[in-house]
Amino acid sequence: MSIDLSKYSVKKDMNVFLSASEKAIIEWLEDNGFSGKLTTANINKIEFVVEKDGVKDILEVTSTRKATVESALECCENFRKAFDLKCENARLRKLLEAKRARR
């Protein structure tokens, strides 16, 4: 899994461009099996469109949440919990559709 940073490839060195919190978020996404793309990175927020197991979502971390690595990672864990519920919802919808199709 990887995170596409190509939108910001005009920057000569992404390590200088990204803060420690932003680097931690990217590492967390990759370690947790997400693939996706960095869509916004500015002083106010960092935003990713991510996908895992065929389910897409948006992870947005605002400036107050990315102030420290610990706060950013806490935001990521909250996102993971919500994403897991979204995946379960998608799974249940597929089961329901399959059940309706058998009728």
pLDDT at residue 7 is higher than 60: yes
Averaged pLDDT, 62-91: 92
For residue 10, name the pLDDT band (cuts at 50, 70, 90): very low
Look over the chain and give the mean of its residue pLDDT values, rounded to a whole number.
Answer: 87
pTM of structure: 0.83
* Cα–Cα distance list, 6 to 11, 70, 100 (Å): 10, 26, 42
Q: Which residues contact 100 (CB under 8 A, 6 or more apart)?
A: none
pLDDT at residue 89 is higher than 90: yes
Residue 31's pLDDT is what? Answer: 95
Residue 13's pLDDT is what? Answer: 54
pLDDT at residue 12 is higher than 80: no
Give me the residue spans of the domains in the chain: 3-102
Residue 16's pLDDT is what? Answer: 58
Task: Quote the distance between the C-alpha of residue 79 and its chain's center.
Answer: 8
Tokens of 60: 């947005």
